[in-house]
Amino acid sequence: MNDPYDVSGVFPDGTLTELPAGTNVAIVGPSMIGKRKLALRLLAAGYETGDGILCITTDSAKTVCEDLEAYVDTLDRNRIGVVDTSGSDGQDLLDVTIETVSSPSDLTGISIGTSKLFKHFESRGISDIRYGLISVSTLLQYLDSQTVFQFLHVYTKRIGDTGGLGIYTLNNASHDPQVINTITGEFDALIELQEVESGDVEFRVRGLDQRATAWNTLPPADD
C-alpha cells in the first residue's frame, strides 16, 4: 500500500500534514476564494519527492504548468500529465504529456485520456500520483448532476483502488444544496473555505473518519 501523501507546509502547523493513500478530497467554497490555488498547492506538495501529477482542467495545459511552477523549485514536466478540456491543442508544451478533449462535457474522452496518462506514469515507474480535477463545478455547468455523480463515483473509486490522491474543487454557492450534498458524498473528505470579516480565508476539514476540525486561518501562498 502507498505511503500517506505529504501536504505539510500547505496548512498551519498542527493541522493537516498528510492524507492517506486512496483518499479523495474536495475543496469547497464560494467563487474567488482560492480553491484552485489551494488545489495546485496540494498537487505540487509532493512533487519534489517523486510524485506524479495528473490534472483534468478546463484551463489550458500551458496555464496549469505555469501555475504549478510557482510552487515547485524545478518542474520536471515528464512527471506531469494533463487532460486539457479547454480546446487547446497543447502543441506549445511538447515536454508535457497531454490528452486533449474538445469539451468538459466529453466524459468518455476525459476517462480515456486519464487512463492513457495513468499508463504513461506506470511505464515510468511512478506509482504515487496526485490527481486534480479543476473543477467539478464546470462539469455541472455542462452536464446534469446525476451524470456528474456517476462519473465521480467511478473516478474516485479508481483513485482509491490504485492508492492515488484525488483533489477536486467545487463552488458550493453556484449549485442547489441538494446537488452539493449528493456530489460531496462521493469524497472521503472536504476542505471547506470561508472568508471572514478581516479578509482572511479560513478552512476546516470534514471527513477522514473524524469530527470536523475547528476553523483555522489558511496561510497565503508564497507566490
Would you kindly state where each structural domain of the chain is located, as residue ranges?
20-192
Average pLDDT for 70-94:
78
pTM of the model: 0.93
Q: Which residue shows C-alpha cell 492508492? A: 163
* Edge-to-edge strand list for the sheet holding 129-134: 97-100, 80-84, 52-57, 129-134, 165-171, 23-29, 189-195, 201-207, 216-217
Please determine, for residue 90, whether its predicted confidence score (pLDDT) is greater than 60. no
Per-residue pLDDT band at 78 (split at 50, 70, 90): confident
SS3 readout for the chain? CCCCEECECCECCCCCCEECCCEEEEEEECCCCCHHHHHHHHHHCCHHHCCEEEEEECCCHHHHHHHHCCCCCCCCHHHEEEEECCCCCCCCCCCCEEEECCCCCCHHHHHHHHHHHHHHHHHCCCCCEEEEEECHHHHHHHCCHHHHHHHHHHHHHHHHHHCCEEEEEEECCCCCHHHHHHHHCCCCEEEEEEECCCCCEEEEEEECCECCCCCEECCCCCC
Q: Bigger pLDDT: 86 or 132?
A: 132
Q: What is the pLDDT of residue 75?
A: 74
Per-residue pLDDT band at 76 (split at 50, 70, 90): confident
Please determine, for residue 223, whether its predicted confidence score (pLDDT) is greater than 50. no
Please determine, for residue 186, whether its predicted confidence score (pLDDT) is greater than 70. yes
Q: What is the pLDDT of residue 93?
A: 59
Q: What percent of the chain has pLDDT over 70?
A: 96
Average pLDDT for 85-92:
71
Q: What are phi and psi of 139, to 5 degrees?
A: -60, -40
CB of 17 within 8 A of CB of 7?
Answer: yes
Average pLDDT for 205-214:
87
> What does CATH list as the number for 20-192?
3.40.50.300
Q: What is the pLDDT of residue 95?
A: 72
Q: Which three cell numbers stand for residue 142?
A: 455542462
Q: Which residue shows C-alpha cell 519534489? A: 48
